[in-house]
């Protein structure tokens, strides 16, 4: 048995190709080789997130870039199989930043125990993990939603957007989601209870569709995509609107300059605010948010959907789905049985 690890081989320009990473097989660390305080985690599931693209650029950001030759950074969930750390026992299930590999050694900082009897492991790297926390703090703390607000969210069928919309419904907002294709749009309405959905791949221009589905304008726009959709949303915001900049997946693989929002002066006309957010700032409040999200799930108010693919060898093909949109909900890779 070996530990398969996906390492960054080079810095991509534009959309990464398969040679961006290299799959290595190394010895699985033994219990004896662990330093005092370390644990060895058998990582069943790896989280695939759009933010991974940004971590590969050698530029100043909110965390250091992944270095060439390092295991690709990723959230993960698995089982402790060896421990020299009193916080964790063999058999504990845990989640943390284990990277794209089958076995991870860590001192446990930033890792926490999870209970697979309450929710499946993949949910802990989705709705009960970083994407869920991003949605929770983004829409409540940055978006500052109030009952009766019209909330518009892009990437609405994705790991973050689907939770943003559902939390907004729980809080008494009118919710409109933007997603690609009729299947996702139907899912938003039928399964997640959105009030309306906009298929940005349809013939109807997005600005027109926003006007149709948000007749009272947009109070909060939660943006995961940037580009033309952000510009369209800016044409329909209300006075005092809050725009949450969570991501810009349409721009991450640009080889030319990012498309800035041409309609940003709508912020002036409408005295609106555009604010960027990064979930790790809210780490001290994860616990209470997790409890709240768990309760909503238990009450059936919050649905979690993971799209699980298998095999670390399929990492690249699965990663690509983040950008083609060929997935539904949270994208997860199962890397070991």
- CA-to-CA distance for 135 and 144, rounded, in angstroms? 12
What phi and psi, each to the nearest 5 degrees, are found at residue 11?
-90, 120
Can you state the angle between helices 130-137 and 161-170, rounded to 10 degrees? 50
* Shortest spacing between CB 131 and a second copy, in angstroms: 16
* Shortest spacing between CB 90 and a second copy, in angstroms: 39
- CA-to-CA distance for 300 and 216, rounded, in angstroms? 29
Q: With H, G, I as helix, E, B as strand and everything else as coil, classify residue 219.
A: strand
Pick the closer one to a second copy by CB: 12 or 193: 12
Interacting residues with a second copy (CB under 8 A) = 60-62, 226, 231, 245-248, 251, 257-278, 281
Q: With H, G, I as helix, E, B as strand and everything else as coil, classify residue 30.
A: coil
Pick the closer one to a second copy by CB: 100 or 159: 159
Tokens of 100: 């794209």
Pick the closer one to a second copy by CB: 146 or 262: 262
* Shortest spacing between CB 163 and a second copy, in angstroms: 18
Pick the closer one to a second copy by CB: 272 or 332: 272
* Shortest spacing between CB 54 and a second copy, in angstroms: 9
Largest CA distance in the chain: 65
What phi and psi, each to the nearest 5 degrees, are found at residue 112?
-145, 155
Pick the closer one to a second copy by CB: 49 or 195: 49
* Shortest spacing between CB 275 and a second copy, in angstroms: 4
Q: What count of residues does the chain have?
A: 337
Torsion (CA) 293, 294, 299, 304 in degrees, nearest 10: 80
- CA-to-CA distance for 267 and 149, rounded, in angstroms? 18
Pick the closer one to a second copy by CB: 69 or 240: 240
* Shortest spacing between CB 141 and a second copy, in angstroms: 11
């Amino acid at each position: 048995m070996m530990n398969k690890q996906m390492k960054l081989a080079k810095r991509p320009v534009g959309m990464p190709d398969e040679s961006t990473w290299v799959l290595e097989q190394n010895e699985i660390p033994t219990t004896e080789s662990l330093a005092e305080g370390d644990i060895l985690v058998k990582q069943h599931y790896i989280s695939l997130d759009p933010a991974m693209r940004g971590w590969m650029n050698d530029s100043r950001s909110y965390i250091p870039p992944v270095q060439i030759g390092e295991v690709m950074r990723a959230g993960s969930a698995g089982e402790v199989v060896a421990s020299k750390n009193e916080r964790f026992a063999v058999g504990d299930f845990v989640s943390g930043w284990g990277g794209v590999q089958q076995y991870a050694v860590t001192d446990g900082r930033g890792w926490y125990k999870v209970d697979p009897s309450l929710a499946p492991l993949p949910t802990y790297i989705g709705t009960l993990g970083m994407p869920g926390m991003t949605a929770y703090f983004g829409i409540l703390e940055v978006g500052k939603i109030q009952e009766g607000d019209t909330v518009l969210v892009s990437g609405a069928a994705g790991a973050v957007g689907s939770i943003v919309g559902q939390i907004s419904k729980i809080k008494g907002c009118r919710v409109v989601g933007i997603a690609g294709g009729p299947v996702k749009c139907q899912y938003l309405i039928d399964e997640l209870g959105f009030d309306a959905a906009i298929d940005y791949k349809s013939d109807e221009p997005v600005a027109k569709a926003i006007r149709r589905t948000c007749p009272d304008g947009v109070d909060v726009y939660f943006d995961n995509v940037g580009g033309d959709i952000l510009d369209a949303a800016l044409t329909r915001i209300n006075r005092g609107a809050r725009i949450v900049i969570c991501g810009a997946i349409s721009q991450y693989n640009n080889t030319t300059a990012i498309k800035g929002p041409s309609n940003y002066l709508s912020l002036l006309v409408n005295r609106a605010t555009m604010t960027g957010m990064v979930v790790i700032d809210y780490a001290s409040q994860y616990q209470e948010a997790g409890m709240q999200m768990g309760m909503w799930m238990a009450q059936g108010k919050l649905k979690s959907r993971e799209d699980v693919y298998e095999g670390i060898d399929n990492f690249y093909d699965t990663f690509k789905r983040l950008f083609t949109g060929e997935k539904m909900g949270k994208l997860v890779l199962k890397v070991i049985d």
